[in-house]
Amino acid sequence: MAATKNGKTDQPFLSDVKTLRERARKNIEEGAITDNYGGDVDQAIEILQSVLATEIVCVLRYTMHAIAATGIASDSVKAEFAEHAKEEQAHMMAVAERINQLGGSPNFNPEGLASRSASQYAEGANLVDMIKENLIAERIAVEHYRELIRYFADKDPTTRVMIEGILAVEEEHANDMHDLLVAHEGRPMLPKN
| Reported pTM | 0.83
Domain-located, residue 148: yes
The answer to the question of residue 28 being in a domain is no
CB-based burial of residue 62 (10 Å sphere; 0-12 exposed, 13-18 middle, 19+ buried)?
Answer: buried
**Considering only CA atoms, which of 168, 165, 167 is closest in space to residue 147?**
167
Q: Is residue 24 part of a domain?
A: no
Full residue range of the structural domain in which residue 113 is found:
38-185
Number of neighbours of residue 20 by Cβ within 10 angstroms = 12
For the chain, the domain total comes to 1
Confidence of residue 113 (pLDDT cuts 50, 70, 90): very high
Is 30 within the bounds of a domain? no
| CA–CA separation, 45 and 170 (whole Å) | 21
Answer yes or no: is 4 within a domain.
Answer: no
C-alpha distances out from residue 39 to 22, 31, 92, 154, Å: 22, 16, 22, 9
Asked, for residue 10, whether it belongs to a domain, the answer is no
Kindly report the CATH number assigned to the domain that includes residue 56: 1.20.1260.10
pLDDT digits (tens, 9 = 90+) for 37-86: 888 999 999 999 999 999 999 999 999 999 999 887 789 999 999 999 99
CA 187 to chain CA centroid, nearest Å: 30
Confirm whether 22 is domain-assigned: no
How high is the mean pLDDT of the chain?
88
Q: CB neighbours (10 Å) of residue 114?
A: 14
pLDDT for 1: 44
Bridge partners (DSSP) listed for residue 3: 9
Considering the domain boundaries, does residue 14 fall inside one? no
